[in-house]
A and B are shown apart, each in its own frame.
Chain A
């Protein structure tokens, strides 16, 4: 760490210990910092030198593992790519991702997302089994472009923290998982769209979205999950009307 030039910033953290607390409270730490320090590094400073009990997840510190999402002054951000200098001298407040249950301090329970991820069948369902000896599928750059952007999701859950509809109704499948659903539907190697349509059409599917589209604003990878969800509203509508024209084989 370089010389801090005497700059100190106040970081206010939400604290909650399930073993002793009934409700969260806030604690403020004075953290010496340099201009290249991220919010994550500020939290690490607190843990190393001021209070080892402050709890938060982190790993890659380069915005690709998706561990360190949190609310910074009320906005969902990855703490590793948010910088303390941008909050000086006022200071900042760090809280766990909203809309999720708090496990401890800044760590939230991600189980609900993992269950939803499973529900969208997040894997290629091929038309017919393809032996490895046949080599790869052919996929042109343009075919790849149809799904590529949605395959960039790092599962950081910022979009869920941005989505009030998810906060109001936890049954809603939510932006991240629906974007991944679309990622597979839009892949030329996949033939599982019909299987996934059931979930798209369901109460907890795309119609839970009211196009707030804050999810797309906060997405650190510019995936535009709102677009994936709303394209599937069109798909769902087509699916609804087409059933009158051409009844599906399996009813």
Chain B
């Protein structure tokens, strides 16, 4: 029986949903890059105060600022998507006989990360 099979070429551009998904997957590279920058800073710290200060100064360069601003946005998006799908990785949570709605799990995730971030900022300040 002859059939026709369509190709998958450019599938990720076919639908906005796939584009956002692709961006979510690529955002891991930014996360990794940011982690490497931090790791690099840590290594500088181990080498001494002067090296560490030089690393810190390099972060003020326009390129580094742009990178960090972009990374921050992308990490925020990544976090958002993470909470969006969090309920899918959980068994049904119940309070009494009632199932906790997916939206509540999402809201709890976002709220707790906002609170933790604020606490961290407050701790540094």
Residues of A within 8 A of B (CB): 16, 18, 21, 23-24, 74-75, 98-99, 101-103, 109, 141-142, 145-146, 164, 167-168, 210-214, 216-217, 224, 226-227, 230-231, 233-234
Chain B nearest Cβ from A210, distance in angstroms? 7
Q: Which residues from A are CB-within-8-Å of B99?
A: 145
Q: Which residues from B are CB-within-8-Å of A231?
A: 88-91
- The residue of chain B having its C-beta at the shortest distance from the C-beta of A168 within the complex is B8
Per a CB cutoff under 8 Å, which of A101, A213, A226, A233 touches B3?
Answer: A101
Q: Are A164 and B11 in contact (CB under 8 A)?
A: yes
Could you tell me the distance between the alpha carbons of A230 and B88 in the complex, rounded to whole angstroms? 6
Q: Are A226 and B88 in contact (CB under 8 A)?
A: yes
Q: Are B21 and A214 in contact (CB under 8 A)?
A: yes
Given contacts A23-B4, A101-B3, 11 further A-B contacts (CB under 8 A): A74-B14, A101-B5, A103-B1, A142-B97, A145-B92, A146-B92, A167-B8, A212-B17, A227-B87, A231-B91, A233-B89
Could you tell me the distance between the alpha carbons of A214 and B2 in the complex, rounded to whole angstroms? 30
Could you tell me the distance between the alpha carbons of A216 and B97 in the complex, rounded to whole angstroms? 25
Chain A CB within 8 A of B66 CB: no
- The residue of chain B having its C-beta at the shortest distance from the C-beta of A107 within the complex is B3
Could you tell me the distance between the alpha carbons of A217 and B87 in the complex, rounded to whole angstroms? 14
Chain A CB within 8 A of B111 CB: no
24 example contacts (A-B, Cβ-Cβ < 8 A) are as follows A18-B3, A18-B4, A21-B4, A23-B4, A98-B6, A103-B1, A103-B3, A109-B1, A145-B99, A146-B92, A164-B11, A164-B12, A167-B8, A210-B25, A211-B88, A213-B88, A214-B21, A217-B17, A227-B88, A230-B85, A231-B89, A231-B90, A233-B89, A234-B91
Could you tell me the distance between the alpha carbons of A146 and B92 in the complex, rounded to whole angstroms? 7
Q: Which residues from B are CB-within-8-Å of A98?
A: 6
Could you tell me the distance between the alpha carbons of A129 and B28 in the complex, rounded to whole angstroms? 50
Per a CB cutoff under 8 Å, which of B18, B89, B90, B94 touches A214?
Answer: B18
Chain A CB within 8 A of B15 CB: yes
Q: Are B4 and A16 in contact (CB under 8 A)?
A: yes
Chain A nearest Cβ from B73, distance in angstroms? 21
Q: Are B14 and A213 in contact (CB under 8 A)?
A: no
Could you tell me the distance between the alpha carbons of A75 and B89 in the complex, rounded to whole angstroms? 25
Q: Which residues from B are CB-within-8-Å of A102?
A: 3-6
Per a CB cutoff under 8 Å, which of A18, A210, A230 touches B1?
Answer: A18
Q: Which residues from A are CB-within-8-Å of B11?
A: 164, 167-168
Q: Mark B1-45, 1 if CB is under 8 A from A, else 0.
A: 111111010011011011001000100000000000000000000
Q: Which residues from B are CB-within-8-Å of A142?
A: 94, 97
